[in-house]
Amino acid sequence: MFGQVEAFAGDPILSLNDSFKADPRSEKVNLSIGVYTDEKGRIPVLGAVKAAYERSGFAERPYLPMEGHALYREGVQKLVFSDTHPALAEKRVATVQTLGGTGAVGIAADFLAKHCPGRTVLVSDPTWENHHGLFQRAGFKTTTYPYWDRTNRSVDFDGMVKALETAENGSIVVLQPVCHNPTGVDLDERQQAAVSDVLLAKRHIVVFDMAYQGFGTSLDEDAAFVRRYAEHASCLVANSFSKNFSLYGERCGGLSVVCRDADEAERVLGQLKLAVRRSYSSPPMTGGLLVATVLGNDDLRAQWVSEVETMRARMDSMRRLLAEQIRALSNEVDVGFLLHQRGMFSYTGLSTQQVDVMRERDGVYLVGSGRMCVAGLNEANVPKVAKSFVEVSQA
Ligand code: PLP
Ligand code: TYF
């Protein structure tokens, strides 16, 4: 009956993670999958989350409503837009709790497929691969706008603007506002303003995908692009709590649609609920309660903010340490990219062949594109990574 079913090649990043686990070498280093680990190499259980778990306990488990837990949704709105954003005051944001950031982008794609069908979808080149997959699953054709300037290891700003200008009016544009996956390079404030002008002039539909809020500069500054844009125009904002709550397996995220007015937001919320109903009915409760409890209590929220800051600071210090140790081994290898890229990832500029050598010879795992997850670095493994990096760079 299923004889014709094709084999699934697997997700390249998850497969790499499996190869890492199967690698018998004790000195191996995992810089592949986008998961934050602490100095000891462990996925942290945040103190605020643990306290929320103890506080919320385990009681009855009714279905959550389609749109999710009310306090959770309020928490999403305040975190993404701030307490004082005019769109919230005007009650024109429709927010649903989602199955992680993936679920948020998926519901956004389903919603757009129904209400804005037939548009072209533009995603950055390169991007998180699932952007193509999720919009294609919803029936869209996807294409790319230039983003990575290989020569300068920065944003190809002119190429990006030109592509957004030449795209058909009213295209769907997926933007990562902070800590871009996989490159680690973001638009600066001036570039954000210039891109916003083009997006508005072309009446493009913007889908912000914010999976790393708090890992760039701070929770508030990382959301500045989204907040400013949402003052001027409608847009969709997907956010993920996987990384900043260290709740990968609980599937916590949100989708917020900024609308023209409260009436429109009410109708959009109804359609988001319908999209959820048709897909999985309602979101999971345990993760929802944890996030709602942290965001809804001042003491836990303050503790969480400080724990996000600790993760961010550690990644920054690992970037600096790796740059220093590479420089100590060689003056010829440019390390500037490590210092001006932000968040969990760095595009190293290494080729697939160089990445293969680092993995096979040295047990240092990067993604084939040359993406390095800096959150996998720690004081114990940086010397080994620096040496491997310098050796393949000079070979
Ligand atoms: N969007 C981007 C840009 C990501 O990098 C990721 C995860 O790596 C996601 C969405 C998905 O997030 P989640 O794991 O919460 O589904
Ligand atoms: O970019 C990354 O590292 C993550 C990895 O179901 C990932 O997106 C891939 C597939 C998946 C969850 C995480």
Predicted TM-score (pTM) of this structure: 0.97
The CATH number assigned to the domain holding 323 equals 3.90.1150.10
The residue whose CA has the least distance to atom 7 of ligand 1 is 211
Whether residue 376 lies inside any domain: the answer is yes
* Domain shared by 152 and 191, yes or no: yes
Instruction: Name the token pair of 247.
Output: 């709740």
Residue nearest to atom 1 of ligand 2 (CA): 34
Pair (126, 173) in one structural domain: yes
What tokens were used for 387?
């040496």
Q: Rounded to an integer, what distance in angstroms lies between the CA atom of residue 321 and that of residue 272? A: 45
- Among 220, 367, 297, 276, which Cα is nearest to 94's? 276
Q: Do 346 and 316 belong together in one domain?
A: yes
Q: Verify that 150 and 287 share a domain, yes or no.
A: yes
Residues 225, 329, single domain; the answer is no
Alpha helical stretches, state H, 93-250: 100-115, 130-137, 157-166, 189-201, 219-222, 224-232
Instruction: Give yes or no: residues 98 and 141 share one domain.
Output: yes
DSSP state of 122: E
If you take atom 4 of ligand 1, which residue's CA is the nearest one? 211
> Which uninterrupted H or E stretch holds 314?
helix 298-329
The verdict on residue 16 lying in a domain is: yes
From 271, 296, 321, the end of a domain falls on 296
Distance, in Å, from the CA atom of 323 to the CA atom of 326, rounded to the nearest integer, reads 5
Asked if residue 76 and residue 109 are part of one domain, the reply reads: yes
Ligand 1 atom nearest to CA at 241: 15
The model's pLDDT over 218-259, given as tens digits with 9 standing for 90+, comes to 999 999 999 999 999 999 999 999 999 999 999 999 999 999
Let me know: does 378 contact 29? Beta carbons within 8 Å. Answer: no
Closest ligand to C-alpha of residue 35 is: 2
Q: Is 13 in the pocket of ligand 2 (CB under 6 A)?
A: yes
| Residues 171 and 86 reside in one and the same domain | yes
pLDDT digit string (tens) for 117-145?
A: 999 999 999 999 999 999 999 999 999 99
| Domain final residue, candidates 296, 322, 341 | 296
176 lines ligand 1 (CB under 6 A): yes
Which one of the listed residues 110, 128, 304, 362 is annotated catalytic? 128
Instruction: Name the β-bridge partners of 125.
Output: 146
- Looking at the structure, tell me whether residues 317 and 187 fall in a common domain: no
> Which residues are within 8 A (CB) of 360 and not within 5 positions of it... i.e. 6 or more apart?
none
Is 162 annotated as catalytic? no
Residue 2 lies in a domain: no
**Has residue 284 been placed in a domain?**
yes
Average pLDDT over residues 339-356: 95
Q: Which domain-ending residue is among 296, 327, 345?
A: 296
Does residue 395 surpass a pLDDT of 90?
Answer: no
For residue 57, is pLDDT > 90? no
273 and 328 share a domain? no
For the chain, what is the mean pLDDT? Answer: 97
**Ligand 1 nearest atom to the CA of residue 248, by list position:** 14
122 within domain boundaries: yes
Catalytic residue among 110, 186, 222, 243: 243
For residues 181 and 34, the answer to whether their CB atoms sit within 8 Å is yes
CA of 213 to the centre of ligand 1 (A): 11
The DSSP 8-state label assigned to residue 62 in this structure reads P
Tell whether 168 is covered by a domain.
Answer: yes
Write down the pLDDT at residue 219.
98
DSSP letter assigned to residue 376: G
Judgement on whether residues 67 and 151 belong to the same structural domain of the protein = yes
Calculate what percentage of the chain has a pLDDT beyond 90. 96
Find the mean pLDDT for residues 202-214: 98
The CATH number of the domain holding residue 53 is 3.40.640.10
Strand segments, DSSP code E, in the chain are 29-30, 93-98, 120-125, 141-146, 148-149, 154-155, 172-175, 205-210, 235-240, 253-258, 345-347, 364-365, 371-373
Question: Is ipTM strictly over 0.90?
Answer: yes
69 token code pair: 């837990």
Domain hosting residue 247, numbered range: 49-296
Q: How far is the CA of 49 from the centre of ligand 2 (A)?
A: 22
Number of compact structural domains in the chain:
2
